Structure 1
Amino acid sequence: MRYGYWMPVFGGWLRNVEDESMQPTWDYVKRLAMRSEEIGFDLSLIAELNLNDIKGERAPSLDAWSTAAALAAVTQKQELMVAVRPTFHNPALLAKQAANIDHISGGRLSLNVVSSWWRDEATKYGVGFEQHDDRYARTAEWLTVLNGVWQEDGFSFNGKYYRVDNNTLQPKPVSRPRPALYAGGESETAKDLISSTCDGYVMHGDEPATIGKRIRDMRERREKKGLPPMQYGVAAYSIIRSSDAEVKKELSRITNVQPGSAGYNNYQQWLAGTQLEQKVSLEDYSVSNRGLRSGLVGTAAQVEDRIAAFEEEGVDFFLLQCSPQLEEMERFADTIISADHLSGMAKNTADDQRI
């Protein structure tokens, strides 16, 4: 199992706690990235929103791409999965920027392709906002251009949304055959596109059985298209405590979002802009990406059992959120990642003894 986390570029994940002790500053994300490598986290997702949908539109948030470039220079091992929204980026220019960051990082860049959902953000930044299926049609062309200019010089494309003529992009990315592409989505349109074009499928939090069903569906789609296996990741909010009473206390602290609060304002707009398989409650929405549904909440032993259930269903990595991020990630590393490492060492020793 790989353990990744969301970089808190919004200053936190809770819509009811104003100050989570993780400011959206370069100093904080730099310290978090460097320390997270030391304690065993090998993947960070850097989200892209120009407005802050967690703390409210007037709250600060960090730009994803300049942050990723800076982090590439101060980290050594961690995969940097940067979110990118086709409606906000020309694909050939983004490909150039991404190739440069890939070189800075030594081949550790990957992309999480997101078809935008927030109409107000697009309007405020002067970007067109299209209907759901039109956004995915744009994304399909966007990916064609991205892959084309990464993989060959003299690439040309003339589509409904994009046109490039005899493009040259040098240097090409370090990653081979190209930086990995991840995406998430629950609509039929999204799953068809992702299964055809991406290397990994990232999912909102949910029960292991529900996640397993989605993985089996995507595996069948890939097999029918003659494509190799994908990587599967799940968002999860982590709470590890020594007793049930402590867990309940923390859950109560983070889920009492009130109508009218800054973090509540775009709840209905978010629901309207997505096509989800299941209804999302306000409690689900209290933390980002339905992370509580994954159930990495409880004592260390309970969380270990839950992780094992996800692994049994085919999950390859988690993308964790917690609050405050660094302190809770230290706790997770001490109790879960260290235990995984020791278990792996014991298994390797037993295998060696059988040889």
Structure 2
Amino acid sequence: MKFGFWLPVFGGWLRNVTDEDMPATFEYVKELAQNAEDWGYDLTLIAELNLNDIKGLESPSLDAWSTAAAIAAVTKRIEILTAIRPGFHNPALTAKAAANIDHISNGRFSLNVVSAWWEGEARQYGGIFTAHDERYARTEEFIHILKGLWKETPFTYTGQFYQYKNTYLSPKPMKQHIPLYAGGESEAGKQTITKTCDSYVMHGGTVEEITEKINDMKIRRQSLGEKPLETFGMSAYIICRDTEEEVQQELARITEVKEGSPGYEGYKDFVSKSHLNVEVQLKDYSVSNRGLRPDLIGTPEQLAKKIISFEEAGVNLLILQFSPQHTEMKRFAEQVMPLVEKLKKEKQEV
């Protein structure tokens, strides 16, 4: 199991807590990323939103791509998975920038392709926001251009959304292909991911829900005659405490949400504009990406056992959220990550 974490570019993950002692500043995320390498984390995911859907529209949030380049320059080992939304970017310029960050990071850069869901943000920032399935059609062309420019010189393409003629891109990425991750639950989304991406990332879910998703994507990929997807990642929010009483106290604190909270409008837009395969409840809104649904809350031993269950279901990357991030990431790294390996080893020896 690989352990990743969401870089807190929004100043936290809790929609009902104003100050989580994790400011949306580069100094904070730089220190966090550097410490994460020492603590044994494998990956950081940098979300791309121009507005803050966690703390409210007027709250600060960091730009994904400039932050990714800066993090690449001040870290040495961790994979930097950065979101890219085709409706906000020129694919040729994206291919160029991605190749450059890949060199800055010495080959540690990867992309999380997101077809976008926030119509209000698109209006404010001039993004292209169309019908759901058309967004995925655009994404397919976008990815085709990225791959073509990274591999071919010159590159020519004529599609429905983009046209390029004899385009040169140099330098190429270090391995001529930057890994592509994506998530989606709609039929259009799953088809696009199966055809174009290397890895599949999922919102938080139960072991049963995640098992079904993984098996479905494996069958889809096999039907195309493609090599298996490399990574099945899942988002989750962590609550780690010494006793069950402390766990429940913290859970109650972070799920006491009222509909008038600053981030509620973004949540409503996400639910209305996305094609989800489960019914989202207000409790799911309290942290992003359905982070509480995997139920990764408990004592270190309880968490380790639950994580092993997800690994047995096929998850090989957890992308985690914590609050406050420094304290809780360090606690998880010291108390849970070694215990996962210990319990797995004991299980194998039986």
Same fold (TM over 0.5): yes
The equivalent residue for 1:353 is none
Point out where structure 1 has 5 or more consecutive residues left out of the alignment. Answer: 351-355
The equivalent residue for 2:332 is 332
The equivalent residue for 1:295 is 295
Range with bigger deviation, 338-347 or 297-306:
338-347
The equivalent residue for 1:182 is 181
In 1, are the aligned partners of 2:304 and 2:343 still within 8 Å (CA)?
A: no
> Deviation digits for residues 35-78 of structure 1, max 9, x if unmatched?
00000101000000000000000100000000000000110100
Distance in 2 (alpha carbons) for counterparts of 1:127 and 1:83: 15
Residue 173 of structure 2 is aligned to residue 173 of structure 1: yes
Distance in 1 (alpha carbons) for counterparts of 2:137 and 2:258: 37
The equivalent residue for 2:121 is 121
Tell me how far 1:344 sits from its aligned partner. Answer: 7.5
The equivalent residue for 1:195 is 194
The equivalent residue for 1:87 is 87
Distance in 1 (alpha carbons) for counterparts of 2:118 and 2:344: 43
Tell me how far 1:218 sits from its aligned partner. Answer: 0.4
Q: Which amino acid aligns with 1:70?
A: A
The equivalent residue for 1:141 is 141
* Distance 1:161-1:257 versus aligned 2 partners, 3 A rule: same
In 1, are the aligned partners of 2:24 and 2:61 still within 8 Å (CA)?
A: yes
Residue 48 of structure 2 is aligned to residue 48 of structure 1: yes
Matched residue of 1:122: which SS?
helix
In 1, are the aligned partners of 2:304 and 2:337 still within 8 Å (CA)?
A: no
Distance in 2 (alpha carbons) for counterparts of 1:74 and 1:150: 25
Matched residue of 1:82: which SS?
strand
Distance in 2 (alpha carbons) for counterparts of 1:77 and 1:204: 25
Tell me how far 1:338 sits from its aligned partner. Answer: 2.3
Distance in 2 (alpha carbons) for counterparts of 1:346 and 1:109: 35
Distance in 2 (alpha carbons) for counterparts of 1:124 and 1:86: 16
In 1, are the aligned partners of 2:242 and 2:300 still within 8 Å (CA)?
A: yes
Tell me how far 1:131 sits from its aligned partner. Answer: 1.0
In 2, are the aligned partners of 1:208 and 1:294 still within 8 Å (CA)?
A: yes
Q: Which amino acid aligns with 1:313?
A: A
In 1, are the aligned partners of 2:53 and 2:267 still within 8 Å (CA)?
A: no
The equivalent residue for 2:207 is 208
Distance in 2 (alpha carbons) for counterparts of 1:268 and 1:104: 38
> Deviation digits for residues 278-327 of structure 1, max 9, x if unmatched?
11001011100000001110011111110011011111110000100111
Distance in 1 (alpha carbons) for counterparts of 2:19 and 2:69: 27
The equivalent residue for 1:235 is 235
Q: Which amino acid aligns with 2:19?
A: D
In 1, are the aligned partners of 2:4 and 2:42 still within 8 Å (CA)?
A: yes
The equivalent residue for 2:28 is 28
The equivalent residue for 2:13 is 13
Tell me how far 1:270 sits from its aligned partner. Answer: 1.2
Tell me how far 1:266 sits from its aligned partner. Answer: 2.4
Tell me how far 1:257 sits from its aligned partner. Answer: 1.2
Distance in 1 (alpha carbons) for counterparts of 2:18 and 2:260: 14
Tell me how far 1:228 sits from its aligned partner. Answer: 1.1
Residue 213 of structure 2 is aligned to residue 217 of structure 1: no
Matched residue of 2:130: which SS?
coil
Tell me how far 1:343 sits from its aligned partner. Answer: 6.1
In 2, are the aligned partners of 1:8 and 1:22 still within 8 Å (CA)?
A: yes
Point out where structure 2 has 5 or more consecutive residues left out of the alignment. Answer: none
Distance in 1 (alpha carbons) for counterparts of 2:30 and 2:112: 21
Matched residue of 1:81: which SS?
strand
The equivalent residue for 1:284 is 284
Q: CA RMSD in A?
A: 1.4
Distance in 1 (alpha carbons) for counterparts of 2:343 and 2:297: 21
Matched residue of 1:5: which SS?
strand
Distance in 2 (alpha carbons) for counterparts of 1:319 and 1:55: 20
Q: Which amino acid aligns with 1:229?
A: P
Q: Which amino acid aligns with 1:99?
A: A
In 1, are the aligned partners of 2:308 and 2:344 still within 8 Å (CA)?
A: no
Matched residue of 2:166: which SS?
strand
In 1, are the aligned partners of 2:307 and 2:340 still within 8 Å (CA)?
A: no
Tell me how far 1:154 sits from its aligned partner. Answer: 1.1
Distance in 2 (alpha carbons) for counterparts of 1:266 and 1:203: 19
Matched residue of 2:291: which SS?
helix
In 1, are the aligned partners of 2:186 and 2:276 still within 8 Å (CA)?
A: yes
The equivalent residue for 2:97 is 97
Q: Which amino acid aligns with 1:115?
A: S
Q: Which amino acid aligns with 1:77?
A: R
Matched residue of 1:186: which SS?
coil
In 2, are the aligned partners of 1:183 and 1:200 still within 8 Å (CA)?
A: yes
Tell me how far 1:188 sits from its aligned partner. Answer: 0.5
Tell me how far 1:336 sits from its aligned partner. Answer: 1.4
Matched residue of 2:3: which SS?
strand
Distance in 2 (alpha carbons) for counterparts of 1:269 and 1:150: 35
Residue 108 of structure 2 is aligned to residue 111 of structure 1: no
